[in-house]
Amino acid sequence: MTQRGRATRSSGPAGRPRRSDGPRGPERSGAPRGDLAARRARLREVIEPVVTAAGYDLEDLSVSRAGRRHVVRVIVDADGGINLDAVADVSRAVSTALDAADEAGGDIVAGEYQLEVSSPGVDRPLTLPRHWRRNVGRLVKVTVRGDAGDRQLTGRVTAADDERVTLETDAGSAAHPYAELGPGRVQVEFSRLDDLADADLDDDTDTDDEDLEDEER
C-alpha cells in the first residue's frame, strides 16, 4: 500500500532549521497577515515548478510563524500516491531551490525557517477531479446540491474523470458532475482495517509456528 501519511522532513543538516540572509529585526516580532500572504505567493513561485518537474502536484503550501522562525509546509501528491522516499527527494529539491532563491537575493523566507514536506492525509477534502480520481475505491461522504436542496450522500467512489464522479450507494450507482458536489470527505472504514489486521495476524502466526518447529528440531 502506498504511504499516504504525514511524514515530515525538516530542512538543514540533522533536522536543524535553515537561516537565510534576509533581514532580521521587525520580521522576528511577528508578521502581519498580508506579509505572510505575500511570502506564500513568492514561495509558490519557487516551489511549484520544482514539484511539477519531479512529477508531482503541489496540493497545498502554507507559511506560518512559530516563535522566531517561519514554518513552510508543502503538501504534494501524485496518481498512485507518494511514498516516503519520494517525499524525501522532493524535500531536498525544494530546500535546494529555496537556498538558491535566497542566495540570488530573493528574500523568500527572512530569518530562520523549517521546511516540512508531506503527502496528504485522509482528512484532506476532495475538491478537484484528481482528488476524486486518486480515491477510487474509497468510501466518501459529500454534500450533493440540487433543485430540491442539499443532501448528504455517502458512497463508494467507483469512477472519476475530469467532469464527474460515480458513487455506489445503497440506492445504486449514479454519476454526479463536480459542480453539484461540495468537498468530499474520505471515511475511515474500521471493518476493513480489522480484516487487514486479522490477515496480518494469521500470517504472523504461521511464521511463528514454523520458527518454533525449527527451534524444537
Give the pLDDT confidence of 16-28 residue by residue, as tens digits: 344 333 333 333 3
The model's confidence at residue 104, banded by pLDDT at 50, 70 and 90, is confident
pLDDT bucket at 191, cuts 50 / 70 / 90: low
d(CA 209, CA 170): 43
Helix (H/G/I), strand (E/B), else coil: 79: coil
Give the start-end residues of each E strand in the chain.
Answer: 18-19, 57-66, 69-77, 112-118, 139-144, 151-160, 164-169, 172-177, 185-186
- Please tell me the distance from the alpha carbon of residue 54 to that of residue 95, in angstroms, as a whole number: 14
Residue range 50-102, pLDDT digits in tens: 999 999 999 999 988 888 888 999 999 998 889 999 999 999 999 999 989 88
Enumerate the CATH 3.30.300.70 domain ranges in the chain, comma separated. Answer: 13-118
Highest mean pLDDT among 2-11, 30-39, 60-69: 60-69
Domain 13-118 has CATH 3.40.1640.10: no
Distance of CA 59 to the CA centre of its chain: 7
Q: Average pLDDT for residues 167-196, to the nearest whole number?
A: 86
State how far the Cα of 158 lies from the Cα of 139, in Å rounded to an integer: 9
What are the angstrom distances between the C-alpha of 214 and each of 35, 202, 204? 66, 19, 15
Rounded to whole angstroms, the Cα distance separating 31 from 167 reads 44
**Residue 21 pLDDT:** 36
Residue 201 reports pLDDT greater than 80: no
DSSP string, 91-145: HHHHHHHHHHHHHTT--SS-SEEEEEEEPPPTTS-B-SHHHHHTTTTSEEEEEE-
Mark residue 15 as left, alpha or beta (left: phi above 0; alpha: psi -120 to 50; beta: remaining): left
Distance in angstroms (rounded) separating the CA atoms of residues 150 and 143: 6
Q: Which CATH code fits 129-186?
A: 2.30.30.100
* Domain limits, CATH 2.30.30.100, in the chain: 129-186
